[in-house]
Amino acid sequence: MTLALIALAIVVFAILAMRESPLWQWALSALVIGLLTRIDFSAAGVSVATDLGGLILVLIPAIVFGLLSIAPMRKLVLMTPVYGAVKSILPRVSRTEQEALDAGTVGWDAELFSGRPDWDKLTSIRPLTLSAEEQAFLDNQTETACRMIDDWDIRNNRADLSPELWQFFKDEGFLGMLIAKEHGGLGFSAQAQSMIVSKIASRSVAAGITVMVPNSLGPGELLEKYGTPEQKDKYLSRLAKGLEVPCFALTGVHSGSDAGGMRDIGIVTKGMYQGKEVLGVRLSFDKRYITLAPIATLVGLAFLLKDPDNLLGRGTDIGITLALVPHDHPGMEIGRRHFPARQAFMNGPVRGRDVFVPMEFLIGGTEYAGQGWRMLMECLSTGRAISLPAIGSISIKQTLRATSAYARVRRQFGIPVGIMEGVAEPLGEMVKRAYTFEAARRLTASMVDEGQRPAVIAGLLKYTTTEAMRDSMDDAFDIHGGRAIQDGPGNYLFGAYMALPVAITVEGANILTRTLMTFAQGVLRAHPYLLKEVQAAQNKDRRQGLEQFDVAFGGHTKFMLRNIVASLLHGLSNGAFASTPNQGPMAHWYRRLHRYSQAFALVADWTTVFLGGALKRKQKISGRMADILGDLYMMSATLRRFEDEGRLPEDRELVEAIMADRVASMENTFGEVFANFPNPVFAWAMRVLCFPLGRHAKPASDRVNYRFVRAVLRPGAFRDRLTTGAYVSFDPNDVTGVLEDAFIKVTEAEEIEARFVKAARKGVIERRLDRDAIEDAVAAGVLNANEAGIMRAADEATERVVKVDDFAMDELAAESKDRVAAE
Ligand SMILES: Cc1cc2nc3c(=O)[nH]c(=O)nc-3n(C[C@H](O)[C@H](O)[C@H](O)COP(=O)(O)OP(=O)(O)OC[C@H]3O[C@@H](n4cnc5c(N)ncnc54)[C@H](O)[C@@H]3O)c2cc1C
């Protein structure tokens, strides 16, 4: 009987926890169970215990829950001391942080943080669609631009794009893709911009960045969103056609990652402008690393605005403010060029001392003075989701396309290097990255097109994609060996390889984005109660704060209890009873995604509660939590892509392998979080609740990975799908066309070559794989003339691929001199 009652209590309280039931229901259930313990069902009949002491004892839980369900009582007894205690523990949110938090929206990320994902939020995002006009632009103007690009010429000979390419970009509107049609721009969607920038970057990262920057955070976007009608009329159509070249200067000499801590100051004052005395701002600034600055005609500036004489009537400290200043405005100094990672895109410093600008130069006018940080964060919450993920994912796809071809064409020890297990291992990883990061790019761009501002996902995607780009680049170099290292006009990898640190560093350097922004900001934004608790704790009105805290804390407690029960149940069943949006072939992975999201919700919650304000310092923990969120997001995006592409049977094994890898990676990272958690008791409890049966997930097997490698080592739909969006040429005189040409020819000659090798082994012909040997094979009747032609063509194409560039002794020195002169 006692055991049955204990079991009943566990079941009832677990159900209440799972349903996040109100306290009175807990009280009622505790009362019923308490009373049941007083009844004795024995063989002799039913009897009821009557001692008062025992009755009070079993009713204590019901009494406690009952009293707590009365709001004034709860506030007096529990909330007042808890409120006082947590005020000092909870993380504090500064004004700039609050503005950053307000700038973004939460969507699928909040579902992952909740531990109970609402699949509709994932499945209802409109899949990739381009308008007919966008598709035509991608197929025509973008293709033409790609054909005009010669990356070696750009990065080595000119240190700039060719004048023809610049003009083409300007004339065709590449620099004004985000500017609305009514303002003379192309008004393209986030998807279209991302795909156009990607294709160009697949040809030359420097050219990609040149197109990306005016379409990313900068004057165009800021004017579209916040500009006054006069500013829009004056600048947008000129920016759209490239008649004005914009740059945006936020980073200063002493303010990089901590951009909000800038020393660039503007003082509200009166001064002369166009012969009249007007109200304006006297600016002093020292900005650096600014892309397009050396050729910019319109400089966007961020500075800290002060109004010591209160001329605006808003106090002395106005805050971060943005202005647009023509490059030739008196006092503006556009500095000499930087040479970032030896890339050819324009980059340099911008300085000014006591530069007077009228109020009409402020973006949005005086009304927006002091709102600069919010404006920047709003733009960044979408921009970061588009531009660098586009460059990162295309680099991953392009390196796979090139490396798969090279690994098939290049032979050592008589076989293609790609089929050697040691080489297949990194190549297999490249295949999985290509599928996953394209999936994530698409999903996120679709969110932006729906009007979301997914700030947390944007940061997450920025650092994960560019880190994956780094991994794929390293793998591609390792697989190519010396062929990738010898730079020259024929090197199709070097430009992107050199550009890697740029992608890693800009728009929030990766270390900071991973360890500080993604989880710490994510948990504040996406946690259902934390921000409300923090805001209540920071409320200067104590009474009001306590009221708000009571509501938030009550919700948080229920959330915690549900997490405990749900994590344990999912852990015991390995997600067998978790939810799935469909019963398709990936239903088991949706359930696993739900199960790990539940574990993440619990650990995220406990980590935040335990670390509190120390979360920003405990970056090894928060970085790992960001990685787990990244795995959950990549699983979501991969599943979405599989559905969107019609559940292709030929992709199924690949998707399964990606899922297996991500789950294994997550379990490993969870283990690291527990092992390094500052409190061993919490760590033990989290381990038991999330993984009661241990962590046993296994990544995809070597055998399965090898099958993807074999599939990309031959031309076909699988390889094309994995590398979709990259510029492809089959011209043997083109830098990457030479690879595709050889790849096809070598594959065509495969069967013929096998016969040839067999004959050589049997001694029917003597020598192998030189041209004379092919003649011998014809003479010996092993090959006919047509087959010999196919084999010879493959042989010649291979030779073109494996050869590298060389230079005369003085040639390189002469080129360096030219380059310096050009700068
Ligand atoms: C090629 C290039 C183009 C650029 N273009 C522009 C542009 O057009 N406009 C513009 O305004 N800026 C531009 N930038 C600036 C860019 O945004 C900054 O370089 C970036 O914000 C990092 O600043 P920093 O280089 O000074 O590094 P620092 O801020 O000195 O950081 C050094 C390291 O410390 C880490 N770090 C810093 N703070 C923290 C923290 N709290 N927690 C954990 N880690 C931390 C960073 O991740 C980094 O790894 C460009 C930079 C480059 C290199």
Distance separating alpha carbons of residues 114 and 531, to the nearest angstrom = 14
Res. 575 pLDDT band, cuts 50 70 90: very high
The alpha-helical segments, DSSP class H, found in 574-618 are 587-611
Res. 815 pLDDT band, cuts 50 70 90: low
Least confident of 27-31, 386-390, 807-811: 807-811
Ligand 1 test: best mutation among 289, 384, 391, 498, most atoms within 8 Å of CB? 289
The atom of ligand 1 lying closest to the CA of 341 is: 1
**Residue with the nearest Cα to atom 6 of ligand 1?**
290
**Residue with the nearest Cα to atom 50 of ligand 1?**
289
- Ligand 1 site: residues with CB under 6 angstroms? 247-251, 256-257, 289-291, 340, 347, 502, 505-506, 509, 511-512, 515-516, 619
Least confident of 293-297, 569-573, 690-694, 756-760: 756-760
256 alpha carbon – ligand 1 mean position (Å): 5
Mean pLDDT in the chain? Answer: 93
Encoded amino acid at 631, one letter: D
440, 395 contact by CB (below 8 A): no
Give the residues across from 412 on adjacent strands: 415
Res. 370 pLDDT band, cuts 50 70 90: very high
**3-class secondary-structure state, position 621:** helix
Ligand 1 test: best mutation among 253, 377, 505, 516, most atoms within 8 Å of CB? 505
User: Mind giving me the DSSP string for 666-725?
Assistant: HHHHHHHHHHH-S-HHHHHHHHHHH-TT-----PPPHHHHHHHHHHHTS-SHHHHHHTTT
Helix axes 455-480 and 494-505, enclosed angle (nearest 10): 150
Q: What's the whole-number mean pLDDT along residues 656-681?
A: 97
114-167 confidence digits (pLDDT tens): 999 999 999 999 988 899 999 999 999 999 999 999 999 999 999 999 999 999
Per-residue DSSP letter, 316:
S
Long-range contacts of 579-583 (CB under 8 A, 24+ apart): 579/116, 579/117, 579/119, 580/119, 581/119, 581/120, 581/122, 581/123, 582/643
* 133 catalytic per annotation: no
Q: Which entry of 97, 99, 221, 507 is annotated as an active-site residue?
A: 507
506 alpha carbon – ligand 1 mean position (Å): 6
640-659 confidence digits (pLDDT tens): 999 999 999 999 999 999 99
Distance separating alpha carbons of residues 360 and 352, to the nearest angstrom = 18
334 alpha carbon – ligand 1 mean position (Å): 20
321 alpha carbon – ligand 1 mean position (Å): 20
Give the residues across from 285 on adjacent strands: 352
- Residue partners of 358: CB distance under 8 A and separation at least 6: 271, 273, 278, 279, 280
Residue (of 480, 520, 472, 516) closest to 497 by Cα position: 472
Least confident of 87-96, 238-247, 412-421, 812-821: 812-821
Distance separating alpha carbons of residues 162 and 400, to the nearest angstrom = 28
Least confident of 28-32, 564-568, 701-705: 28-32
Provide the 10 A C-beta neighbour count for residue 604. 27
Q: Give the pTM.
A: 0.93
The atom of ligand 1 lying closest to the CA of 293 is: 8
The atom of ligand 1 lying closest to the CA of 511 is: 47
Whole-number pLDDT of residue 818: 58
The alpha-helical segments, DSSP class H, found in 410-454 are 421-449
142, 200 contact by CB (below 8 A): yes
What is the pairing mode between strands 317-326 and 298-306? antiparallel
pLDDT cut 90: percent of the chain above it: 77
**Residue with the nearest Cα to atom 25 of ligand 1?**
256
Least confident of 167-181, 284-298, 448-462, 807-821: 807-821
- Percentages helix, strand, coil for the chain (3-state, rounded to 5) are 65, 10, 25
Res. 213 pLDDT band, cuts 50 70 90: very high
581 alpha carbon – ligand 1 mean position (Å): 40
517 alpha carbon – ligand 1 mean position (Å): 14
**3-class secondary-structure state, position 204:** coil
- Residue partners of 86: CB distance under 8 A and separation at least 6: 533, 537, 549, 612
719, 382 contact by CB (below 8 A): no
**3-class secondary-structure state, position 486:** coil
Length of the chain: 823
Whole-number pLDDT of residue 611: 87
The atom of ligand 1 lying closest to the CA of 287 is: 11
Q: Is pLDDT above 70 for 770?
A: no
530-545 confidence digits (pLDDT tens): 889 888 988 888 889 9
Whole-number pLDDT of residue 525: 86
Angle at 778 between CA 777 and CA 779, to 5 degrees: 90
**Residue with the nearest Cα to atom 42 of ligand 1?**
512
70-127 confidence digits (pLDDT tens): 988 888 888 888 888 877 777 777 777 788 788 888 999 999 999 999 999 999 999 8
Distance separating alpha carbons of residues 775 and 17, to the nearest angstrom = 81
Q: What's the whole-number mean pLDDT along residues 486-501?
A: 96
**Residue with the nearest Cα to atom 31 of ligand 1?**
257
